[in-house]
Amino acid sequence: MSQALALAVLAGIISGALGLAPISGSIALVLVSYFVMLPMMLAGLTLGLTAALIAAGAAILFNGVIAGILPALIFAIAFALPALLVVRQALLSRQDSTEGLVWYPPGLILAQLTVVAVALLAAVFFAFMGQPDGLLGIIEAVLVDAIQQISEAAGQSAPDVESIRTSAVFVPALVGCSWLVMAAVNAALAQAIAVRSGWNRRPSPTLADLELPSWLWPLIGGALLMSLLGSTGLGLLGRSALIILIVPFGFLGLAVIHKFANRWSYRQFGLAAVYAGIIVLNWPILAVVLLGLVEDWAHLRRRYM
């Protein structure tokens, strides 16, 4: 077995193990599982697409042997295939007569991942359409049961069921946004590790130069119209899709901040403060998303830089 093949299989086993971490019940392992795509992406961005395919196959097989066919299928759709998409697109390039070798733009990859997130959400939504109250009913039942068990274990009174059901409508969008951010963060980390190790196959893109494709706007318009159909059913799907489709503009807002940060005397300190504010306070992310939406129309980086 060659070194590249061994490393690809090892990466797949690590990804497969991370994918099963949430069933362990350990909070620490659940947090680590956030990086489930990282080993597969790292294998691809250092050793090539074939290595990524081997890693993905090993991860799916590992899940199938340990947990069964259904978890393996879920892993393949939710994690392995998106990781392969990122690797394939990231390694695409073309020769330009003036610019030389031009690599596939990261903004396009981010937009494609966003479409995948919406497609996965729609697939889950329609899969549970035959159940009472559909996907929302399943989410409500799971949340009520989980929170009641936690309250009983802590010796506290059970929370109001109606408030839990009110919160349930935000779960699909929250999960979709979390998945999308997870995929983007894993891709960025994989590329950073590849560059640090000297095994990278492409240069790292600069966040400050991120551009999003214009075709995201018709999708946003469609999701907005669908969201007007009500608070449940297709209306819930539209509202959740709309929130997910806006996530890339958060990255675009960060791109604007990074571009303007080049003028700051203490650039690293300023960027660290921005990210700390987002992580600790949460609400600044809304301002960053708004900045990204404005940038896509006003092109602030071109006007003022």
129-164 pLDDT tens trace: 877 778 888 888 878 777 777 766 666 666 666 677
Phi, psi of 41 (to 5 degrees): -65, -40
Beta strands in the chain (DSSP E): 93-96, 100-103
Q: How many whole angstroms separate alpha carbon 290 and alpha carbon 251?
A: 11
Strand 93-96 with 100-103, pairing:
antiparallel
Report the chain's terminal Cα–Cα distance, integer Å.
52
DSSP 103: E
Sign of torsion over alpha carbons 127, 130, 136, 138: negative
Q: How many whole angstroms separate alpha carbon 74 and alpha carbon 76?
A: 5
CB 110 within 8 A of CB 184: yes
At residue 185, does pLDDT exceed 90?
Answer: yes
How far is the CA of 55 from the CAs of 14, 37, 80, in angstroms? 9, 10, 9
What's the whole-model pTM score? 0.91
At residue 99, does pLDDT exceed 90?
Answer: no
* pLDDT value, residue 233: 84
DSSP 231: S
Closest CA to 182 of 21, 24, 36: 36
Task: Count CB neighbours of 196 within 10 A.
Answer: 9
CB 41 within 8 A of CB 186: yes
Question: Which tens digit of pLDDT belongs to each residue from 217-227?
Answer: 999 999 999 99
